[in-house]
């Protein structure tokens, strides 16, 4: 702004200097031209003046001669002749003999009166020559020259003077300007301005009173006219210029030296100064042109430099603008500029569309639209808070939550407003700093804390529950073991105690399995293994599994598969069975003796992508649940009544496991229950329908002890187990099946034993995984690396309490041939060993 | 920000003010007040001027044909822009000279013939009065009677005197003049001795007299004026002038002329043409005769002189407009309009004098340039009347006449501060509005109350100026009312009052109309009237109301009519005479208003408030 002012001031100053210099030059040259022209004009009009003086002087000189002639004239006839002769030679129009009273007589004998006014006395009494304009009624005025003479008589007319009326043209001729011709006007005026004689050019105005004319039509002031009047009165010369009818004239006045006559010359300035003015204008233009050229060059350089600088600045500004745009587009902050006077939005960062789901135009049209997107919990009137904000100050508003108009996502902002004054334009700059990430992180931390606290609580609850549930069978095992020891001799009692110990052990194992399953599910380690499955087979398997329990409780168990049309599907059979069994066993558990349990399977129509929703319904006439509990039925360790109260054993994890597996299968489970009347679980699972009929599995061979013993008879087995008790159990079982069992306490010992068994090679090695000194995996690796390949390829079966899938994979990876989970299930052990021997 | 608003507001206001001022100036007409010496100027000249200058708002006021009247206005600072006066001489105007514009150096003056305009140049060289075209004055002769008595038209004084003798012998009045009037006496006195007055000595004296200065009166030149008075004595004797002529009016003389009871009559060129055209008599205009045919002269006088207020010089725009107005007035058309068709001589151009057969006997004078311009100072009129009448009565000899004339010229009345007989406490301007002239209304209301009549109607605004605040002398009171005002009283019913108003206002189908200009609308007291302005000086009466209600057409009202005196009225309204129905009722005891004013001032203390008597519908 200041710079512009500076440039503007400089231009003004330079212009003023130029104009002043130009005007000075013009004035100076004009003065020179005027002086030169004035001198020239005075000379030119002086010639006209001289001619007039000569003519008038000559006339009077002649008239004096004529007077002498009339004095001596012999007769009127002679006089007539003389006058006619004079007329011819002197070019006057009429000759008048004048009487004392102003009466006249001409040579034609015409008489009459010439109103000479004061001139009559001048002529007759003062005996002075006169020259005036006279007129007869109804005729134009004419110039009359009179001269007194000796009193005489002509045709009985007594005269004392005579006069002639001159040919106007001849007088006018004397005023003709030889230099300027018709461009010049020449007047002979009286002292009061009356025009006595004029010689005006063509198309010029008739002037009756010259002073009156310039007073009425020229630009001369009263004072200037008064000066001219005084000069005329004082018979002074003068030259000046004036403007009349939008044209400039030179005015020249010179006394004629007769009576009060003054010769006036008028010539248009453009005529007089034609060449000089051209020269003046040319030099002025050349001067101005040169200066202008220099100025233009300087200006051009300055402008060029200025433009370059401006361009650089412009580029800078554009870069900054780009930077700002990029910043505003890439940050989650929103920037808004509001004009203080109009309270209209002049700028909105483009990212508002992405961040708040409202367009720039909408905000520009109505700032309040932002307020409308604010969460209803917040009252965010930004405009209303600006009133008290003074220039240069800033305010920070409370954090506010907005809802993205398009995504309905919440966005948190901290709003800062700055009242800025840029070149007297006051605007509010609103910076909406996006705090969503921070807020979300905070919320997540809060949730995590909550979850951690809940997990801790759940862990405590879990430990409490598990402690109770573990302690219960453990109590039975320990208690009956003690009783068996004390009653060791009573075989019947001991058998009873051992059965109860076995039962409690199985329960404990089931509990541990459930806990492990739940742990696997929650840790995301469970993966579905989908294969072609025949649902009818699944139902049959389930029926087989639960049949014992059904019988024990004398329950009525119905299976309905009427709605099942496509029983071959792709699914994870194990987990499907687990889900149904968990629910079914639960139903059996909570259904009193003689009650009714049913399982129905149906399917919805097959969709285009060859899938169908299968609905499994498990219904019982059991004790049912309260509505409140039904909501928590799928949460871990939730039981409406503890086993202590209900007398029903359970980990409280079965339903949670079922629910998690259903979720894993993208299915749903719904509970319809009423306390005291029963419960119905409805499971919906979508399976891909398999039209091909799966190959029927080969019928399993039943484990026959005797035949099995034959296979295993004499087989040397190395049992590697660090736990003495487990070693003992396993050793006894193996021996029972005909194995020759050698033991090792850890992997290192096992490796040594294998190395030393070159002569009597082990048929199989049962290897515990977790052992001191050397674990099973390392031991297996070392065995496999033995130089004696026969030894190195000794079948090794893992036997571990780590029963997860990854454990199996780890065993396979290190070269083991089979996998048996602990506690040892004899069937599983035998079938696994048999499988190993059969494959060799 | 607020400052900026203030500046912007200020700028807008200034711009608005300048714009409004400019607009108001654009539409504003230049007002020029012009006093007319006689309402006859309204016949053609004033409407023409308004037509020629649509951007000028003219206010035409009929004033007094008297320079003292204008001196009085000047003393009150109310001298109009332009004014006209017929009775004039250079020495009359000397007291007013300082207030007048010097036009000597104007182009306008340059258009005049030097020989004529020089008579208007004062001692300082200034020309402050300009003569309008000249009327001619001479002897109107019944040529038929000359022929009847085998008398040739005279060529010199002797033949004229002889003709007079023949007519008298045949019981025919030789030459009748209305010596009852000052101008008739003056014109006969100067006309018959024009040669003496136009001699060198006569001219010298005339120039001297014209430049007379206050306190140094110029008496008569003995040589010149002895001869003049001798000639006049001879003229009176040879024309058989007697005491009857002193009482005789022009109209009486004219009647006798028309009845062939008079062979010659003093009159204007216009009178001669009129008489020739309206009768079977062959009328010719004769000059005033000298000893020889070389000494015959025609008497002329300007129709009026025009002067301009010096103050107009202060307003350049107004000055230029006034110069244009004057140029128009002195143009050929302007002079024709001023002459209203009369035969006139122009001081700055050709005339049609020679073309009229009535003027054939004047041709020789015209060729010889024997045109005498009368000396028409106020005192010259008064003294001429006095001396001429005494000479007719033969009360004294030429020598006595000279001495008396000279004495009266030299012993001018010393200005004694006149007695203030009346003091007005409020001013009512001479202002023409939609509701009338305030000054006229004030005087009309005062007169009606003084006369005790119900209604007063004046033919036109009969006042000559505003009603001024301050003291009034008797003369000033007289000047306030138009010089030719005459009062007539009548009993009229409402219907006739309405008809009277219709006569005064409504335009006739033949365009004849007493009201020729909006400045000339009637003034009423006791009644109000509404008119419709039809443009171009034409109006139509819409209604006449009394106190706002329609006038009762059957009710009798005492009405005062104030108009011009009968003679002038006939002249002014000749083309639209008063309907007989009205004139029959108007009581004939015409009374000059002067006496009423004399009576009035003795009884009242102030001029009454004006009323709104006029309503003009556009």
pLDDT score, position B335:
84
> Mean of the pLDDT values across residues A378-382?
69
Over the stretch B224-265, which tens digit does the pLDDT of each residue have? 999 999 999 999 999 999 888 888 888 888 889 999 999 999
Please report, for chain A, the start and end positions of each structural domain, with discontinuous segments joined by +: 178-276, 331-434, 441-518, 526-689, 705-839
pLDDT score, position A642:
47
Cα separation, B192 vs B232, whole angstroms: 6
Same domain? B86 vs B126:
yes
Over the stretch B345-364, which tens digit does the pLDDT of each residue have? 777 665 555 567 888 898 88
The DSSP symbol for A194 reads B
pLDDT above 50: residue A106: yes
Side-chain-facing half-sphere of A654: CA atoms under 13 Å: 19
Residue B405 near residue B205, CB atoms below 8 Å? no
pLDDT score, position A56:
80
> Which CATH class name applies to A526-689?
alpha beta
Q: Using 50, 70 and 90 to split pLDDT, how confident is the model at B338?
A: confident
Minimum-distance CB partner of B200 among A102, A132, A207? A102
pLDDT score, position B27:
54
Cα separation, B339 vs B350, whole angstroms: 14
Strands lying side by side in the sheet with B549-550 = B549-550, B538-546, B528-535, B614-617
Same domain? B216 vs B357:
yes
Same domain? B443 vs B404:
no
> Mean of the pLDDT values across residues A498-524?
78
| Residue A118 with chain B: CB contacts under 8 Å | 118, 207
pLDDT above 90: residue B139: yes
The DSSP symbol for B192 reads T
The DSSP symbol for A171 reads H
DSSP 3-state of B474: helix
pLDDT above 80: residue A645: no
Quote the mean pLDDT of chain A: 82
Any idea which of A234-243, A505-514, B448-457 has the lowest mean pLDDT?
A: A505-514
- CA distances, A477 to each of A472, A485, A506, B595 (Å): 9, 12, 11, 166
Residue A582 near residue A654, CB atoms below 8 Å? yes
pLDDT score, position A490:
84
A24-49 residues labelled b (16+ CB within 10 A) or e (exposed) = eebeebbeebbeebbeebbebbeebb
Alpha helix ranges (H) inside B287-432: 316-329, 332-339, 363-367, 378-392, 398-410
pLDDT score, position B165:
94
Assigned domain for B286 exists: yes
Over the stretch A201-228, which tens digit does the pLDDT of each residue have? 655 666 778 888 888 788 888 888 889 9
Give the tokens for residue B488. Answer: 């007539």
pLDDT score, position A637:
64
φ, ψ dihedrals at A744, nearest 5°: -140, 145
Assigned domain for B347 exists: no
Same domain? B406 vs B428:
no
Same domain? B496 vs B370:
no
Residue A624 near residue A677, CB atoms below 8 Å? yes
- CA distances, A603 to each of A686, A707, B516 (Å): 9, 44, 122
More confident residue, A282 or B312: B312
Residue ending a domain, among B318, B339, B360, is B339
DSSP 3-state of B263: strand
More confident residue, B110 or A683: A683
φ, ψ dihedrals at A193, nearest 5°: 100, -10
| Residue A115 with chain B: CB contacts under 8 Å | 115-116, 369
Assigned domain for B375 exists: yes
- CA distances, B313 to each of A299, A784, B96, B182 (Å): 53, 142, 16, 37
Residue B160 is inside which H or E element, if any? helix B157-169
Residue B462 near residue B565, CB atoms below 8 Å? no
Over the stretch A287-331, which tens digit does the pLDDT of each residue have? 778 877 887 788 788 888 888 888 888 888 888 888 877 777 777
DSSP string covering A783-839, please? HHT-SSHHHHT--EEEEES--SHHHHHHHHHTT--EEEETTTPHHHHHHHHHHHHHH
Same domain? B534 vs B545:
yes
pLDDT above 80: residue A277: no
Same domain? B579 vs B606:
yes
Assigned domain for B344 exists: no
> Which CATH class name applies to A441-518?
mainly alpha
Same domain? B552 vs B461:
yes
Over the stretch A758-814, which tens digit does the pLDDT of each residue have? 777 888 899 988 888 888 999 999 998 888 888 888 889 988 877 677 788 888 888
Q: What percent of chain A has a predicted confidence (pLDDT) above 70?
A: 92
Over the stretch B517-531, which tens digit does the pLDDT of each residue have? 777 889 999 999 999
Assigned domain for B346 exists: no
- Residue found under tokens 């006969």: B188
The distance from CA A500 to its chain's CA centroid, rounded to whole angstroms, is: 79
DSSP string covering A113-136, please? E---THHHHHHHTS---EEEEE--
Cα separation, A309 vs A307, whole angstroms: 5
Minimum-distance CB partner of B371 among A111, A137, A211? A137
Same domain? B286 vs B424:
no
Strands lying side by side in the sheet with B485-493 = B523-525, B455-458, B556-564, B485-493, B591-592
Residue ending a domain, among B381, B410, B439, is B410
Range A705-839 classified under CATH 3.40.50.2300: yes
DSSP 3-state of B442: helix
Residue A753 near residue A742, CB atoms below 8 Å? yes
Assigned domain for B345 exists: no
CATH number of the domain at B596, please: 3.90.780.10
φ, ψ dihedrals at B564, nearest 5°: -75, 165
Any idea which of A165-169, A742-746, B315-319, B415-419 has the lowest mean pLDDT?
A: B415-419
Residue B298 near residue B304, CB atoms below 8 Å? no
pLDDT score, position B413:
62
pLDDT above 90: residue B204: no
More confident residue, B267 or A377: B267
Question: Nearest CA to CA, how far is A397 from chain B (Å)?
Answer: 28
More confident residue, A665 or A479: A665
* Environment class of A252 (CB within 10 Å of its CB; exposed 0-12, middle 13-18, buried 19+): buried
Q: Which residues pair with A414 in a beta bridge?
A: A433
Pairing, β A818-821 against β A796-800: parallel
- Judge: B105–A215 Cβ closer than 8 Å, yes or no: yes
Q: Using 50, 70 and 90 to split pLDDT, how confident is the model at A643?
A: very low
* Environment class of A4 (CB within 10 Å of its CB; exposed 0-12, middle 13-18, buried 19+): exposed
pLDDT above 70: residue A640: no
pLDDT score, position A25:
79
pLDDT above 80: residue A104: yes
pLDDT score, position A644:
45
- Judge: B105–A211 Cβ closer than 8 Å, yes or no: yes
SS (H, E, C) B88-147: CCCCHHHHHHHHECCCCCCHHHHCCCHHHHHHHECCCCCECCEECCEEEEEEEEEHHHHH
More confident residue, A745 or A518: A745
Over the stretch B476-498, which tens digit does the pLDDT of each residue have? 888 888 766 778 888 889 999 99
- Judge: A209–B107 Cβ closer than 8 Å, yes or no: yes
Could you count the other beta carbons within 10 Å of the beta carbon of residue A758? 11
pLDDT score, position B570:
58
Cα separation, B489 vs B593, whole angstroms: 12
Q: What percent of chain A has a predicted confidence (pLDDT) above 90?
A: 7
Q: Which residues pair with A147 in a beta bridge?
A: A162
Minimum-distance CB partner of B118 among A117, A139, A195? A117
DSSP string covering A221-235, please? -HHHHHHHHHHHHTT
pLDDT score, position A475:
77
Contacts of A607 by beta carbon, 8 Å cutoff, 6+ apart = none
pLDDT score, position B146:
94
Give the tokens for residue A832. Answer: 């696994």
**Domain total in chain B:** 3
Range A331-434 classified under CATH 4.10.80.40: no
DSSP 3-state of B197: helix
pLDDT score, position B352:
53
A320-359 residues labelled b (16+ CB within 10 A) or e (exposed) = eeeeeeeebeeebbbbbbbebeeeebebbbebbbebbbbe
Looking at the structure, give the CATH architecture of the domain made up of residues A178-276.
2-Layer Sandwich (3.30)
Phi-psi region of B556 (alpha: psi -120 to 50; beta: other; left: phi over 0): beta
Pairing, β B528-535 against β B614-617: parallel
Alpha helix ranges (H) inside B259-306: 269-278
Over the stretch B383-392, which tens digit does the pLDDT of each residue have? 999 999 999 9
Looking at beta carbons, which pairs linking A27-32 to residues 24 or more positions away fall under 8 Å?
A29/A280, A29/A283, A29/A284, A30/A280
Residue B569 near residue B575, CB atoms below 8 Å? no
Chains A, B: CB contacts under 8 A, how many?
Answer: 105
Assigned domain for B187 exists: yes
Alpha helix ranges (H) inside A135-265: 168-175, 210-217, 222-233
CATH number of the domain at B260, please: 3.40.190.10
| Most confident by average pLDDT, A409-418, A469-478, B606-615 | B606-615
pLDDT score, position B589:
53
Minimum-distance CB partner of A208 among B111, B207, B323? B111
Contacts of B321 by beta carbon, 8 Å cutoff, 6+ apart = B30, B32, B53, B55, B56
Q: Which residue of chain A has the CA closest to B355?
A: A138
Enumerate chain B positions whose Cβ falls within 8 A of a Cβ in A: 1, 104-111, 113-116, 118-119, 125, 195, 198-200, 203-204, 207, 294, 320, 323, 345, 350-351, 353-354, 366-371
Pairing, β A345-348 against β A334-339: antiparallel
Domains A178-276 and A331-434 share a fold: yes
Same domain? B428 vs B374:
no
Q: Beta-strand (E) ranges in B14-78?
A: 30-36, 56-62
B561-577 residues labelled b (16+ CB within 10 A) or e (exposed) = bbbbeeebbeebbeebe
> Mean of the pLDDT values across residues A5-30?
80
- Judge: A138–B350 Cβ closer than 8 Å, yes or no: yes
- CA distances, B493 to each of A678, B61, B450, B500, B608 (Å): 130, 32, 21, 11, 26
pLDDT above 90: residue A677: no
| Residue A341 with chain B: CB contacts under 8 Å | 1
For residue B589, the enclosing domain spans 420-617
Question: Nearest CA to CA, how far is B401 from chain A (Å)?
Answer: 25
- Judge: B105–A133 Cβ closer than 8 Å, yes or no: no
Cα separation, B374 vs B137, whole angstroms: 10
Residue B497 near residue B574, CB atoms below 8 Å? no
Residue A768 is inside which H or E element, if any? strand A764-768
Cα separation, B548 vs B556, whole angstroms: 18
Same domain? B116 vs B174:
no
């Amino acid at each position: 702004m200041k710079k512009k002012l500076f440039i503007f001031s400089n231009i003004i100053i330079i212009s003023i200097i130029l104009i002043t210099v130009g005007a000075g030059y013009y004035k100076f040259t004009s003065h020179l031209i005027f002086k030169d022209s004035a001198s020239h004009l005075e000379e030119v009009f002086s010639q006209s003046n001289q001619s007039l003086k000569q003519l008038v002087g000559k006339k009077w000189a002649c008239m004096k001669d004529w007077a002498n002639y009339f004095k001596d004239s012999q007769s009127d006839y002679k006089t007539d002749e003389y006058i006619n002769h004079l007329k011819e030679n002197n070019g006057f129009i009429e000759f008048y003999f004048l009487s004392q009273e102003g009466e006249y007589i001409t040579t034609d004998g015409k008489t009459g009166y010439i109103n000479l006014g004061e001139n009559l006395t001048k002529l007759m009494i003062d005996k002075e020559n006169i020259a005036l304009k006279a007129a007869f009624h109804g005729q134009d005025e004419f110039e009359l020259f009179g001269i007194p003479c000796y009193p005489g008589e002509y045709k009985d007319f007594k005269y004392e003077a005579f006069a002639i009326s001159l040919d106007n043209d001849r007088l006018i001729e004397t005023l003709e300007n030889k230099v300027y011709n018709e461009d010049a006007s020449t007047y002979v005026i009286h002292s009061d301005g009356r025009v006595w004689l004029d010689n005006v050019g063509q198309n010029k105005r008739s002037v009756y009173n010259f002073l009156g004319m310039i007073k009425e039509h020229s630009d001369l002031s009263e004072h200037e006219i008064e000066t001219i009047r005084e000069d005329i009165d004082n018979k002074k010369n003068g030259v000046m210029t004036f403007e009349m009818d939008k044209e400039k004239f030179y005015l020249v006045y010179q006394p004629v030296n007769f009576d009060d006559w003054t010769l006036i010359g008028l010539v248009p300035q453009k005529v007089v100064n034609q060449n000089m003015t051209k020269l003046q204008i040319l030099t002025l233009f050349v001067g101005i042109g040169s200066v202008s050229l220099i100025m233009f060059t300087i200006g051009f350089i300055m402008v060029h430099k200025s433009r370059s600088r401006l361009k650089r600045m412009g580029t800078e500004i554009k870069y900054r603008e780009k930077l700002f745009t990029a910043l505003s587009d890439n940050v989650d902050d929103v920037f808004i500029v509001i004009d203080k006077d109009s309270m209209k939005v002049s700028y909105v960062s483009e990212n508002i569309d992405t961040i708040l789901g409202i367009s720039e135009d909408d905000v520009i049209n109505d700032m309040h639209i932002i307020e409308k997107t604010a969460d209803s919990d917040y009252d965010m009137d930004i405009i209303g808070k600006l009133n008290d904000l003074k220039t240069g100050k800033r305010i920070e508003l409370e954090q506010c939550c907005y809802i993205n108009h398009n995504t309905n996502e919440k966005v948190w902002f901290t709003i800062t407003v700055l009242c800025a004054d840029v070149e007297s334009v006051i605007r509010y700059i609103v910076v909406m700093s996006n705090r969503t990430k921070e807020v979300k992180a905070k919320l997540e931390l809060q949730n995590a804390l909550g979850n951690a606290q809940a997990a801790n609580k759940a862990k405590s609850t879990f430990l409490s529950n598990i402690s109770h549930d573990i302690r219960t069978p453990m109590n039975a095992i320990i208690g009956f073991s003690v009783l068996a020891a004390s009653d060791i001799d009573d075989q019947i009692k001991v058998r009873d105690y051992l059965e109860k110990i076995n039962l409690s052990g199985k329960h404990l194992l089931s509990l541990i399995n459930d806990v492990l399953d739940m742990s696997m599910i929650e840790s995301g380690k469970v993966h579905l293994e989908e294969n072609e499955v025949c649902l009818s087979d699944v139902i049959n398997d389930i029926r087989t599994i639960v049949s014992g329990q059904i019988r024990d409780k004398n329950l009525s168990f119905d299976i309905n598969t009427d709605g099942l049309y496509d029983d071959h599907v792709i699914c994870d059979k194990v987990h499907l069975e687990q889900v149904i069994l968990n629910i079914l066993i639960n139903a059996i558990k909570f259904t009193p003796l003689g009650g009714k349990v049913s399982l129905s399977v149906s399917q919805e129509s097959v969709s285009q992508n060859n899938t169908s929703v299968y609905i499994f319904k498990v219904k019982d006439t059991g004790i049912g649940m309260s509505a409140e509990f039904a909501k928590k039925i799928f949460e871990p360790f939730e039981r409406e009544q503890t086993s202590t109260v209900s007398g029903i054993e359970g980990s409280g994890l079965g339903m949670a496991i079922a629910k998690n597996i259903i979720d894993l299968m993208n299915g749903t489970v719904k509970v319809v229950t009423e306390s005291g009347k029963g419960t119905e679980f409805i499971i919906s699972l979508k399976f891909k329908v398999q039209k091909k009929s799966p190959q029927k599995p080969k019928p399993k061979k039943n484990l026959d002890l005797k035949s099995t013993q034959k296979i295993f008879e004499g087989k040397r087995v190395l049992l590697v187990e660090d736990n003495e008790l487990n070693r003992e159990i396993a050793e006894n079982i193996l021996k029972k099946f005909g194995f020759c069992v050698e033991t090792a306490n850890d992997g290192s010992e096992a490796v040594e034993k294998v190395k030393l068994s070159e002569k009597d090679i082990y048929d199989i090695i049962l290897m515990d995984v977790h052992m001191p000194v050397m674990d099973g995996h390392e031991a297996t690796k070392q065995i496999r690396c033995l130089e004696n390949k026969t030894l190195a390829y000794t079948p090794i079966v893992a036997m571990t309490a780590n029963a997860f899938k990854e454990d199996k994979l780890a065993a396979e990876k290190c070269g083991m041939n089979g996998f048996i989970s602990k506690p040892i299930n004899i069937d599983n052990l035998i079938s696994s060993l048999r499988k190993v021997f059969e494959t060799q | 920000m607020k400052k900026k608003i203030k500046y912007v507001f200020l700028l807008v206001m200034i711009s608005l003010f300048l714009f409004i001022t400019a607009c108001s100036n654009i539409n504003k007409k230049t007002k020029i007040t012009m006093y007319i010496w006689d309402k006859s100027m309204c016949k053609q000249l004033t409407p023409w001027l308004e037509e020629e200058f649509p951007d000028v708002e003219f206010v035409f006021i009929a004033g007094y044909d008297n320079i003292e009247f204008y001196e009085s206005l000047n003393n009150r600072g109310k001298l109009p822009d332009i004014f006209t006066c017929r009775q004039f001489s250079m020495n009359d105007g000397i007291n007013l000279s300082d207030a007048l514009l010097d036009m000597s150096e104007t182009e306008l003056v340059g258009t005049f013939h030097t020989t004529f305009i020089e008579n208007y140049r004062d001692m300082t060289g200034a020309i402050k009065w300009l003569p309008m075209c000249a009327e001619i004055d001479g002897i109107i002769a019944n040529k038929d009677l000359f022929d009847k008595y085998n008398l040739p038209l005279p060529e010199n004084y002797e033949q004229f005197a002889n003709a007079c003798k023949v007519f008298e012998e045949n019981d025919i009045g030789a030459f009748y003049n209305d010596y009852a009037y000052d101008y008739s006496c003056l014109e006969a006195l100067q006309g018959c001795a024009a040669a003496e007055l136009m001699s060198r000595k006569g001219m010298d004296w005339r120039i001297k007299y014209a430049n007379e200065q206050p306190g140094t009166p110029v008496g008569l030149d003995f040589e010149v004026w002895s001869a003049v008075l001798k000639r006049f004595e001879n003229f009176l004797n040879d024309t058989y002038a007697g005491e009857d002529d002193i009482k005789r009016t022009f109209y009486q003389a004219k009647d006798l002329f028309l009845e062939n009871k008079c062979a010659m009559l003093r009159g204007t060129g216009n009178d001669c043409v009129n008489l020739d055209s309206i009768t079977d008599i062959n009328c010719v205009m004769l000059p005033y005769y000298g000893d020889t045919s070389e000494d015959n002269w025609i008497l002329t006088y300007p129709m009026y002189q025009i002067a301009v207020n010096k103050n107009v010089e202060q307003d350049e725009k107004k000055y230029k407009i006034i110069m244009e107005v004057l140029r128009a007035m002195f143009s050929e058309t302007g002079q024709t309009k001023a002459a209203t068709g009369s035969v006139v001589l122009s001081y700055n151009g050709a005339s049609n004098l020679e073309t009229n057969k009535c003027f054939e006997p004047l041709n020789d004078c015209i060729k010889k340039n024997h045109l005498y311009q009368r000396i028409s100072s106020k005192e010259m009129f008064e003294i001429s009347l006095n001396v001429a009448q005494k000479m007719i009565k033969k009360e004294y000899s030429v020598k006595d006449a000279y001495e008396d004339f000279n004495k009266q010229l030299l012993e001018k009345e010393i200005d004694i501060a006149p007695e203030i007989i009346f003091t007005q406490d409020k001013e009512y301007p001479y202002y023409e509005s939609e509701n009338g002239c305030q000054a006229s209304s004030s005087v009309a209301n005062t007169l009606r109350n003084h006369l005790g009549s119900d209604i007063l109607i004046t033919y036109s605004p009969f006042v000559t100026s505003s009603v001024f605040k301050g003291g009034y002398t008797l003369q000033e009171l007289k000047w306030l009312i138009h010089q030719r005002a005459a009062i007539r009283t009548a009993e009229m019913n409402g219907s006739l009052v309405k008809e009277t108003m219709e006569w005064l206002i409504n335009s006739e189908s033949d365009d004849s109309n007493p009201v020729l200009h909006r400045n000339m609308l009637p003034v009423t007291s006791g009644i109000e009237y509404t008119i419709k302005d039809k443009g171009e000086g034409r109006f139509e009466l819409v209604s006449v109301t009394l106190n706002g209600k329609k006038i009762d057409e059957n009710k009798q009202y005492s009405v005062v009519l104030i108009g011009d005196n009968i003679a002038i009225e006939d002249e002014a309204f000749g083309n639209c005479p008063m309907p007989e129905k009205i004139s029959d009722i108007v009581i004939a005891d015409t009374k000059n208003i002067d006496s009423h004013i004399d009576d009035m001032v003795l009884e009242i203390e102030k001029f009454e408030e004006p009323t709104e008597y006029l309503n003009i519908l556009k």
